[in-house]
């Protein structure tokens, strides 16, 4: 990833590029730490959806190159990969063609996905919220929450004193910068509440070493009219 990766960087545009899409997995997940993170995160995504009825349809928004959709398909679910980037979805279709009709794609902005008419038994929203300030994270997660009455699993980075020190130490290294907008604990509570969700469970991808969390939520119960 180039030096332009930072706050002046728009994730809705950046991935609409063939070369970016082709190189996405290789650039992030082939180093030793990348492979470790990838395999731990995939294991947790598998756990986060455990217990869902076989054959359930999961909306993966954003799907990117289908990295995590693959885990869900291997677990016996069907997946609709949603992304704003046709290039990322083309890479996902190449990767996941062996699953036939169980994997489909839809090019949409996740924030307005409800207007597409899609509904899912559950949804995944991974590795994207961190790119936006909190208000946009809320809008994004609300958009995904609007298309399911079931479980919604998302990933985010947590901002603690320790992780700020780690980010500061890594500043000069020629590696991809960490989460651009990680959240404090209270921001995270706000994100979940304002997206109309409640937390059921959370997993840490690599306790102490990584700021990444996998958070399992469900819709807040609708209050009965008084």
Ligand X SMILES: C[S@@+](CC[C@H](N)C(=O)[O-])C[C@H]1O[C@@H](n2cnc3c(N)ncnc32)[C@H](O)[C@@H]1O
Residues lying near ligand X in the complex (CB under 6 A)? 11-12, 15, 62, 64, 67-68, 83-85, 88, 109-111, 126-128
State the nearest-atom distance from the C-beta of 129 to ligand X, in Å.
Answer: 10
State the nearest-atom distance from the C-beta of 102 to ligand X, in Å.
Answer: 18
Nearer to ligand X, 7 or 223 (CB): 7
Helix (H) or strand (E) holding 154: strand 152-157
Is the sign of the CA dihedral 101, 11, 71, 116 positive or negative?
Answer: negative
Nearer to ligand X, 142 or 165 (CB): 142
Nearer to ligand X, 72 or 88 (CB): 88
Q: CA-to-CA distance for 1 and 4, rounded, in angstroms? A: 8
Nearer to ligand X, 57 or 68 (CB): 68
Cis peptide before 208 (omega within 30 of 0): no
Nearer to ligand X, 83 or 159 (CB): 83
Is the sign of the CA dihedral 13, 99, 72, 152 positive or negative?
Answer: positive
State the nearest-atom distance from the C-beta of 225 to ligand X, in Å.
Answer: 34
State the nearest-atom distance from the C-beta of 81 to ligand X, in Å.
Answer: 9
Contact indicator for 81, 63 with CB cutoff of 8 Å? yes
Nearer to ligand X, 127 or 163 (CB): 127
* Distance (Å) of CA 11 to CA 16, 95, 112, 209, 214: 9, 22, 16, 25, 20
Q: CA-to-CA distance for 73 and 98, rounded, in angstroms? A: 10
Question: DSSP letters along 51-75, please?
Answer: TSPTT-EEEESS-TTSTTHHHHHHT
State the nearest-atom distance from the C-beta of 143 to ligand X, in Å.
Answer: 8
User: Which residues, at least 6 apart from 52, have a Cβ–Cβ distance to it below 8 Å?
Assistant: 58, 77, 121, 122, 150, 151
State the nearest-atom distance from the C-beta of 223 to ligand X, in Å.
Answer: 30
Residue nearest to ligand X (CB): 64
């Amino acid at each position: 990833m180039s030096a332009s990766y930072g706050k002046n960087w728009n994730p809705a545009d950046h991935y609409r590029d063939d070369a970016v899409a082709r190189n996405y997995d290789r650039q992030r997940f082939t180093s030793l730490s990348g492979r470790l993170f990838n395999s731990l995160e995939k294991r947790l995504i598998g756990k986060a959806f455990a217990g869902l009825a076989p054959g359930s349809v999961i909306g993966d928004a954003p799907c990117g190159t289908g990295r995590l959709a693959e885990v869900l398909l291997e677990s016996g679910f069907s997946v609709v990969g949603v992304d704003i980037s046709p290039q990322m979805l083309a890479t996902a279709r190449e990767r996941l063609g062996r699953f036939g009709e169980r994997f489909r794609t839809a090019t949409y902005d996740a924030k307005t996905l409800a207007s597409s008419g899609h509904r899912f038994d559950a949804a995944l929203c991974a590795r994207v919220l961190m790119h936006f300030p909190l208000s946009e994270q809320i809008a994004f997660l609300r958009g995904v929450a609007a298309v399911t009455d079931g479980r919604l699993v998302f990933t985010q980075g947590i901002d603690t004193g320790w992780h700020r020190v780690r980010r500061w130490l890594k500043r000069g290294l020629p590696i991809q910068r960490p989460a651009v907008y990680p959240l404090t604990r209270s921001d995270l509570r706000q994100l979940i509440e304002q997206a109309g969700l409640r937390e059921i469970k959370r997993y840490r991808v690599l306790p102490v070493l990584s700021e990444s969390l996998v958070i399992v939520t469900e819709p807040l119960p609708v209050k009965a009219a008084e």
